[in-house]
Amino acid sequence: MILAVGLNHYLVLSALIFSLGVLCMATKRNAIGILIGVELVLNAANINLVAFSKYNAGVGDGHIFAVFVILLAAAEAALAIAIFMNFYNTLRTIDVDRGDELRG
């Protein structure tokens, strides 16, 4: 039996990826692991946007939004990784739990 792929399939996929992303952000202690979780959530949002744009709205808003989100994700990753490098150069680790000098 061949299922016709509809809006709900995309939404389930997106919700799944979102949950995986949140799980990843919550459990990883490595900064890059957390960043991967962020990217997963952004991609889940992208799937949502494109699916909604195709099935519901009928105008291209969501597609354009998704392009901007891809761009944002790239910019954010570039900056975040530069900051991770800086952190690594000073503290020789990217374990976020090791950054514990600022507290109180």
Partner 1 sequence: MLASTTTTNPIWMPGGDELAYLGPLWALVATVVAVLLGALAVGRNWRVSAGIATFGGLLTAWLAYRGFSQAGFTNWAGMTPSAPAAPMLVADQFSYCFIFLISVFMVLVTGMWWLGQNAGLPEHLTRKQDSTEFFVLFVGSAFGMSLMVSTTNLLMIILAVEMASLPSYGITAFRKKHNLAAEASLKYVLFGAITSAIMIYGASLLYGQYHTLDLAAIGRQIAAETGQSGPTVLMGVSLVAFMSGIAFKVSAVPFHFWCPDVFEGASIEITTWLSVASKAAGLGLMLRVIAVLTCNLSSPDTLEYVSLAIAVMAAITCTWGNISAFRQTNLKRLLAFSSIAHAGYMLMAVAIIWHPEFGQTDMPAHPSFSALVFYITVYLMMNLGAFGVIALVYWSTGKETIDAFNGLARRSLPLTIAMVVFLFSLVGLPPMGGFFAKWWLLYALWEGNVVWLILVAVFNTLISLYYYARIARAMIFTDDGQPTVHAPISGQAAVTVCAILVLLTGTLSAGWLKDFSDNRSRGLYAIVRPVNQEPTANDQLDNDGSEEKIAEFSPDGGSEFE
Instruction: Give per-residue burial for 25-48: e unless 16+ CB within 10 Å, then b.
Output: beebeebeebbbbbbbbbbbbbbb
53-72: contacts with partner 1 (CB under 8 A): 53, 56-58, 61-62, 64-65, 68-69, 72
Q: Does 25 bind partner 1 (CB under 8 A)?
A: yes
Q: Between the CA atoms of 52, 53, 57 and 61, what dihedral angle is there, to the nearest 10 degrees? A: 130
Q: What is the largest CA-CA distance in the chain?
A: 60
| Nearest distance, CB of residue 19 and partner 1, angstroms | 11
Q: Which residues make up the interface to partner 1 (CB under 8 A)?
A: 11, 18, 21, 25, 31, 34-35, 37-38, 41-42, 44-46, 48-49, 51-53, 56-58, 61-62, 64-65, 68-69, 72, 75-76, 79-80, 82-84, 86-87, 89-91, 96, 99-104
